[in-house]
Amino acid sequence: MTRLAYTVLFFVNAIVATALRAFGDGFLKYLWSFETCTDEAANPHCVGNQAVYRASFSMSCFFLLMAIVSALSDRGFNNCCCLWCFQLPLYGALFVGAYAISNDFFYGYAWVARVMSVLFLVLQIIIIVDTTYNVRDYLVDKIDMSDADERVSLLSSSAPSSSRFPTWFWKSAFFGLVALALGGALAGVGLLYYYYAVCQVGHVFTTITLAAIVVVTGLSVTVEDGPGLLPPSILSLYIAFLCYESVSANPNAACNPFLTYQATSTANTVVASLIGAATITWTSWSTASSLIRMDVDDKDDHVVVEAVLPITSHACWLLELNGACTIGKAKRIGWLGRA
């Protein structure tokens, strides 16, 4: 219940921040703490970015305080009473109080968030790899089970089957996921070359991404006891997505053909904000779930994990909005793979 409430709060904060970034210039620029955002020609996104900095800072402080209190408390905050009577008012006070702090402070906070975002991306890549291994093992186990059932059925027509689907179904599911992920990654790289390789930075980023996809996929299917195609395929898709986030955040209109449309379309801003908020909220939820599964013996630590993790998640989300997140058991060898 606590993690669900935290996730909802995280999502609402993300929506409010993106709304203020897109539509808050008209009234936020009159606050004394935004007095450094006077030159709109030199920095047209100053007010919106500062609003996101404050939303991220207030949420980070909130989760940091919850982590400290949970670590010092025997029970932590596991009930709705503490949530409604103490935590929500605390978050509201932090959010409003952040607007009393000068912009100069948040320029420094943005650099701290950049470091945290890199750490979060590394953690997320590790968790994605772990999840893909679990999916691969599940599908390969189903293939082995179905294959064994079919062999037994050839010897005895009365033998019961423990698998609901035949072998071809599970193999199709496995290779379908591989084709979807790897095909999506390669198609994404092709689109990146087509739209963003007009400048050197876009060309370099896309080339590095393509080289990483080729190397990771090649090593996975050639080394002995390799993981097979599924883990590198999904990881390749995630790498291509990160590359897109990097090059699409380029503020140079000559290198970003969609920059003008993104800046002028209110509908696009709203949709992109909703997708971004939903994505990073889901990432925070799934990462917390994975970390909790890694430590199932200590219940008190779970509360601390639930409180600490969104700090790094929110830092990465902050930088994605502002264009700074530029940087994821029988053995079988071959296409399926086994660890």
How confident is the model at residue 305, as a pLDDT? Answer: 40
* pLDDT value of position 307: 40
Distance, CA of 310 to CA of 7 (rounded, Å): 9
Per-residue confidence (pLDDT) for residue 191, from 0 to 100 = 94
Among the listed ranges 24-38, 269-283, 296-310, which one has the minimum average pLDDT value? 296-310
Is pLDDT larger for residue 272 or for residue 303?
272
The Cα–Cα gap between 46 and 58 comes to 18
For 175, the token pair is 């290779």
Q: Which of the four pLDDT bands, split at 50, 70 and 90, describes residue 30?
A: confident
- Give the Å distances, CA to CA, from 109 to 22, 74, 271, 322: 21, 32, 27, 13
The whole-number pLDDT of residue 246 equals: 85
The backbone torsions φ and ψ at residue 192, rounded to the nearest 5 degrees and listed phi first, read -65, -40
Contact 186, 239 (CB under 8 A): no
175 pLDDT band, cuts 50/70/90, is very high
Q: Which of 54-63, 96-105, 241-250 has the lowest mean pLDDT?
A: 241-250
Instruction: Return the pLDDT at 177.
Output: 94
Contact 313, 120 (CB under 8 A): yes
Percent of the chain's residues with pLDDT above 70: 67
Mean pLDDT rounded to a whole number for the chain: 75
pLDDT digits over 75-87, tens only?
555 555 565 677 8
- Choice between 30 and 213, residue whose per-residue pLDDT is larger: 213
- Give dist(CA 264, CA 261) in Å, integer: 5
Residue 299's pLDDT is 44
Q: What is the CB neighbour count within 10 angstroms for residue 199?
A: 15
Give residue-wise pLDDT tens across range 255-274.
888 776 555 455 555 665 66
Side-chain-side CA neighbours of residue 38 (13 Å): 4
* Confidence grade of residue 302 (pLDDT, cut at 50, 70, 90): very low
Token pair in block for residue 305 = 């994990």
60 vs 223: which has the higher pLDDT: 60
| Rounded CA separation 133/234 (Å) | 10
pLDDT tens-digit profile of 115-163?
888 887 787 788 788 888 888 999 988 888 888 877 777 776 655 555 5
Residue 44 CA to residue 49 CA, distance in Å, equals 10
Three-state secondary structure readout of the chain: CHHHHHHHHHHHHHHHHHHHHHHCHHHHCCCHHHCCCCCCCCCCCHHHHHHHHHHHHHHHHHHHHHHHHHHHCCCCCCCHHHHHHHHHHHHHHHHHHHHHCCHHHHHHHHHHHHHHHHHHHHHHHHHHHHHHHHHHHHHHHHHHHHHHHHHHHHHCCCCCCCCCCCHHHHHHHHHHHHHHHHHHHHHHHHHHHHHHCCCHHHHHHHHHHHHHHHHHHHHHHHCCCCCCCHHHHHHHHHHHHHHHHHHHCCCCCCCCCCHHHHHHCHHHHHHHHHHHHHHHHHHHHHHHHHHHHHCCCCHHHHHHHHHHHHHHHHHHHHHHHCCCCCCCCCCCCCCCCCC
d(CA 46, CA 164): 58
pLDDT at 72: 75
pLDDT surpassing 60 at residue 179: yes
Nearest CA to 34 out of 113, 111, 100 is that of 100
Query: Do the Cβ atoms of 268 and 262 come closer than 8 Å?
Result: yes
